[in-house]
Structure 1
């Protein structure tokens, strides 16, 4: 999939899909531009995102608001609301303590959104911090975005190995799936892959890192080839430890929760273990996760962490943020179009007035010429011929003069 930026860049996509910023009247819209493919199958894939957004449009408090779409010969354009506070990944990097305090609320909202998607037979397949947008900082409100690789499970099954490294469920990985204890390997998978990603995301909010990363001198030869992907699997500047993941899926290693702070985090640990479960058949669903003791409790998010302060608005990188200069530019264009419209209306009005004046002028002068001509022509003839000015006697006098000339 290739893409082309036609508007100001806002978010840096991972799959060559572009987002742009467009000012419409007094508000901004995020416009996603997707280049069409020459094959019908690929073009249908692009329209899946539009279909998913249409199905969840009535739940715009959980998902990014869908404002419409259109296409031309080359591109498909999807218009969505512009969320100025950015995505969760920026907050994890810049405000980790605050994000940790809000981990429960973010997880609860995310699980609610996934419950809706799964009830509609939709699998997101790419749940990660970059696709969780901060719609409001106070009160905290997040929205799920980017359904570019989502799949509607109606008459088809999930087969494609797609997603983001670090948030992959083990049943998607070709080599790891054969190591899952008690699981019959298959090329198919279910929406349980979204629940694994939620567990990874929750772990990242609490510790600033995803699980199964190489630490210290654990990088042994061959540890990055177990998944069938050699190298290039960097997360937070560290490489994924496929050996540890393989051992965990085989039941020979426990889930690495060493980065969680010591204390009474039993409820959080239980939720993480139920989400990050190798066997998808034993993995908890979104409905059951929402009934978890830690999610339903009114206690602070993590033991020892008091109720957090409101999440501060994130100062976006100037190259991603909408610039005032561009807003003024669009205002100038609006004024220019207004002025041109007024000028064009004036030209049309003057043209109509001119035609009317010309018509009136012709009618007026035609009347004057006809009246003056009817009065002056007999007088001029009478002067030239020295005859009675009475027009009716002119022929008679001319006849008399002709007859006298014949006699002479």
Structure 2
């Protein structure tokens, strides 16, 4: 499995202007910061899900990278490094700055078969390197045949774009429908087992166009083109091949064979007399003037073909649009993540609200029960309070009555006390009188009264007893306080 570096490519390379773009890839010039060397950065949009049809599946990118990592040949673009981010896989490739082969040849004033074979042979050598390793390119076309540097006498061919390349396993049947309709082999059109022979068909179509400026199977529509391929509907029109050698037409005819077993292999193509016979021909400048003028027509037609083929292809903004789409998808995904988090938060909040509502309902029920109990207790307290209040008022009334009674008793007491004091004084006066009377009896006795008679003592005792009894019945004994009835004067 191919290993992709997860660092940001911009940390190691300065990415510059765009060099070209495809459906899901864009190529930009870049410069390595550490060495200053120039490269091409191919940004390939990854498919975000298997259900989507936008972008390239990761396994397809891994296959392309794996094949490029096995290749080292002068006529094939070289892979330098691979980076990956969230949306793209970035292939750092050898910078091929010479442009397309057909554009280069279309700008020439003349073209000979000898010059053509020099470029065809380089294509064959690159394909030979692939086929000896059982690798089929499956997308050989003028746009994928580039020049390393066009400012040299014989520019070097570079085969690029291995997005459709497959390693053909022996004994395994491989079928697919892909490629550019103008250059695909009949077995692709008919969905038959595919092999290395499909590349040889594409080389035959490329050679036909290179020598004539016309496309052998191109129709008005894509279906017309595929129908022409399946029906082998092509000819060598004298208008385009009137001055082309029979060896060249034989080379093309042996490549454009519907039966893959009859089609030239890569080794057969390299050994074909047309390729071999032109290996050491004289320089193009030494070709007779008459032939050069006739060759100029082919160059003119080739120029017309390249202009037409380029102008017929609308500007490919798929990658740019997809990049915008991917950004929108990423934004939507971020929004969905946010919404998911909000939904989770909402669910959590709803659970909290439900729990709070449940607690509130329980508390409300408890408060109602407590409120009923408190209302009952308050009612009981109000009843008790009114009862106590009534008792308090009754006690207050009783206290006022008691105070009134006490006042009356106090007045009566004062009256009694005053009466008592008056009686005490009167009694004291009476007692004094009695004592004086008794004293007078004692005097009489001593002067000649009754001898041996203790009248005073007897009388005093009886009187005292009588007075005490009388006073006790009348005043409870209180009047006798302080009065000594036995006092003898």
- TM-score of the pair, normalised by structure 2: 0.49
From 263, 268, 272, the equivalent of 1:288 is: 268
Alpha-carbon distance between aligned partners in 2 of 1:98 and 1:254, rounded to the nearest angstrom: 23
From 193, 199, 202, the equivalent of 1:194 is: 199
From 245, 256, 261, the equivalent of 1:265 is: 245
- Structure 1 position 89, deviation (Å): 3.6
Which of 1 and 2 has greater Rg?
Answer: 2
1:18 aligns with 2:26: yes
- Structure 1 position 96, deviation (Å): 7.1
Alpha-carbon distance between aligned partners in 1 of 2:101 and 2:261, rounded to the nearest angstrom: 29
> Structure 1 unaligned runs (5+)?
1-5, 175-185, 215-223, 225-230, 234-239, 312-408
From 162, 182, 188, the equivalent of 1:166 is: 182
- Structure 1 position 154, deviation (Å): 2.6
Q: Secondary structure at the match of 1:12?
A: strand
Q: How much is the aligned-residue C-alpha RMSD, in angstroms?
A: 3.3
The answer (yes or no) to whether the contact 2:29–2:40 under 8 Å persists in 1 is yes
The answer (yes or no) to whether the contact 2:98–2:148 under 8 Å persists in 1 is yes
- TM-score of the pair, normalised by structure 1: 0.58
- Structure 1 position 12, deviation (Å): 3.0
Structure-to-structure mapping, 1:8-407, within 5 angstroms: 8-25=16-33, 26-38=36-48, 42-56=57-71, 58-59=72-73, 61-95=74-108, 97-98=110-111, 102-137=115-150, 138-154=153-169, 156-174=172-190, 187-214=192-219, 231-232=221-222, 240-241=224-225, 244-248=228-232, 255-263=235-243, 265-297=245-277, 298-299=280-281, 304-305=291-292
Q: Secondary structure at the match of 2:183?
A: coil
The answer (yes or no) to whether the contact 1:93–1:208 under 8 Å persists in 2 is no
Q: Secondary structure at the match of 1:279?
A: coil
More contact order relative to length (CA 8 Å, sep ≥ 6): 1
Alpha-carbon distance between aligned partners in 1 of 2:45 and 2:229, rounded to the nearest angstrom: 36
Q: Secondary structure at the match of 2:40?
A: strand
Alpha-carbon distance between aligned partners in 2 of 1:70 and 1:135, rounded to the nearest angstrom: 24
Q: Deviations over 1:131-181 (max 9, x none)?
A: 11111332221111110111112375431101012101111113xxxxxxx
Q: Deviations over 1:22-65 (max 9, x none)?
A: 12243321000112224589211111111111111x32x12112
Alpha-carbon distance between aligned partners in 1 of 2:85 and 2:254, rounded to the nearest angstrom: 46
- Structure 1 position 109, deviation (Å): 0.8
Q: Secondary structure at the match of 2:149?
A: strand
> Structure 2 unaligned runs (5+)?
1-9, 51-55, 300-489
Alpha-carbon distance between aligned partners in 2 of 1:201 and 1:257, rounded to the nearest angstrom: 16
- Structure 1 position 299, deviation (Å): 3.6
Alpha-carbon distance between aligned partners in 1 of 2:69 and 2:145, rounded to the nearest angstrom: 19
Q: Deviations over 1:276-314 (max 9, x none)?
A: 1111121100101000111011346999459x9xx9xxx
Alpha-carbon distance between aligned partners in 2 of 1:257 and 1:111, rounded to the nearest angstrom: 25
Q: Secondary structure at the match of 2:147?
A: strand
Q: Deviations over 1:253-273 (max 9, x none)?
A: 664344443246111011000
Q: Secondary structure at the match of 2:179?
A: coil
The answer (yes or no) to whether the contact 1:199–1:275 under 8 Å persists in 2 is yes
Measured at CA, do residues 93 and 305 of structure 1 come closer, stay the same or move farther in structure 2, by a change above 3 Å?
closer
The answer (yes or no) to whether the contact 1:20–1:30 under 8 Å persists in 2 is yes
Alpha-carbon distance between aligned partners in 2 of 1:168 and 1:120, rounded to the nearest angstrom: 21
Higher percent of residues as helix: 2
The answer (yes or no) to whether the contact 1:9–1:18 under 8 Å persists in 2 is no
